[in-house]
Amino acid sequence: MLKITTKNIQSKWTEFTLTNDHDMSVSILNFGGIITNMMVPDQHGNTENIVLGYNNYADYEKNANYIGAQVGRVAGRIKDGRFYLNGSRYELAKNEGRHHLHGGPNGLHQVIWEADTYQSEHEVSLVLTHTSKHFDNGYPGNLELAITYSLNNTNELTLDYRGKSDQDTPVALTNHTYFNLSGNMKNTVHDHQVQFDSHYVAELDEELMPTGHLIEPIDTPFDFRNGRLLGKGLKPETAQQKIAGNGYDHYFMFGNERAVTVSESNTERTMKIHTSEPGMVLYTANGLDEGLKLNEGLSQKYAGVCFEAQAHPAALHHEGFPNVIVEAGETYRSYITYSF
């Protein structure tokens, strides 16, 4: 039955669970917009959790790995925590050495969002709203944001992002959920088959910063056009894989279709992702801290995989990347749909 339930975690934290008629549910915190749990049936009728989440809610307060979180204003790394816009230089809060990562130390993953719920005949929704103030983590403009999580009876979860600023400002939001389709974290993501069309991959330097050079992925470990087993790429086969910690932490610019298909061989569970975004960061948890107490056990390298659909902050320093600047008064809109 379609329903919305709530659970009070602490004085200002609430977890909302959206459930449909087919045993699929997703749980979301108003803190950070964090997806804490996603129950999805496999081809054999077994309903299991397919995302990483902390066993103790208090661990989300630090959450250095951004598990399940909404990230921004700009997801990804901004070199030297600095950019220029309309002739002015902006210095951002630095939280990865001399660089700025995922919106800064007090980014959207640290916000307690206002929450409203809605239910119709065919879907249940949670709407989170927040205003990021002028110079929040160094960004210009007052940015009004709304994120809607909608779960319908065809086992589709859609994240719809909208924003509007009173000044020109960079915006590139995404969700940092770690997926593991084996269910209840029974295995790593080595047996995940991933397929999508990409024309270019952003090259990284030793600090994981984009160099501005775009790599053509054809016939390389970055070629996912015909599907690729993730396990085959989780090794130091190329310099780029070594830089990322023996795996992927790279921005792929989509080709003709902005979609990804992911399947896990043991459960035959399949997820299809559709998005309005021009590309995504594929991150195979190469740098995930080990030994974290998660819902189904301790974390380890390659315990999950992120599909961070977004425009890329490299556009602030390099040509050839999709625009991330939202002009004053313009409506920012983006969506990501996960189908099972």
Is 308 among the catalytic positions? yes
Per-residue model confidence (pLDDT) at position 332: 99
Per-residue model confidence (pLDDT) at position 276: 99
Is 176 among the catalytic positions? yes
The verdict on whether omega for the bond into residue 73 sits within 30 degrees of 0, i.e. cis, is yes
Contact between 25 and 38 (Cβ < 8 Å): yes
- Residue positions forming the annotated binding site: 176-178, 249
For the residues of 30-59, what is the DSSP string, one character each?
Answer: SBTT-EEEEEEE-TTS-EEE-B--BSSGGG
CATH at 21: 2.70.98.10
Catalytic residue among 100, 176, 250, 312: 176
- Residue positions forming the annotated binding site for beta-D-galactose: 176-178, 249
Per-residue model confidence (pLDDT) at position 231: 97
Per DSSP, the three-state class of 230 is helix
Instruction: Tell me the per-residue pLDDT of 74-129, one tens digit each, with 9 for 90 and over.
Output: 999 999 999 999 999 999 999 999 999 999 999 999 999 999 999 999 999 999 99
Alpha helices in the chain (DSSP H): 239-243
Q: Cα-flanking dihedrals φ and ψ of residue 138, to 5°?
A: 100, -5
Per-residue burial over 145-155, b if 16 or more Cβ lie within 10 Å, else e, is bbbbbbbbeeb
Per-residue model confidence (pLDDT) at position 139: 99
How many domains, the chain?
1
d(CA 57, CA 45): 29
d(CA 128, CA 134): 20
Per-residue burial over 29-38, b if 16 or more Cβ lie within 10 Å, else e, is bbbbbbbbbb
Q: Cα-flanking dihedrals φ and ψ of residue 285, to 5°?
A: 60, 40
Place of tokens 């792929």: 252
Average pLDDT on 63-81 reads: 98
Give the predicted TM-score (pTM) of the model.
0.97
Tell me which DSSP letter residue 289 carries.
P
CB atoms within 10 A of CB 321: 22
Instruction: Tell me the per-residue pLDDT of 256-271, one tens digit each, with 9 for 90 and over.
Output: 999 999 999 999 999 9
Catalytic residue among 102, 130, 308, 312: 308
Q: For residue 288, give its domain range.
A: 3-339
In which band, very low, low, confident or very high, does the pLDDT at 43 lie, cut at 50, 70 and 90?
confident
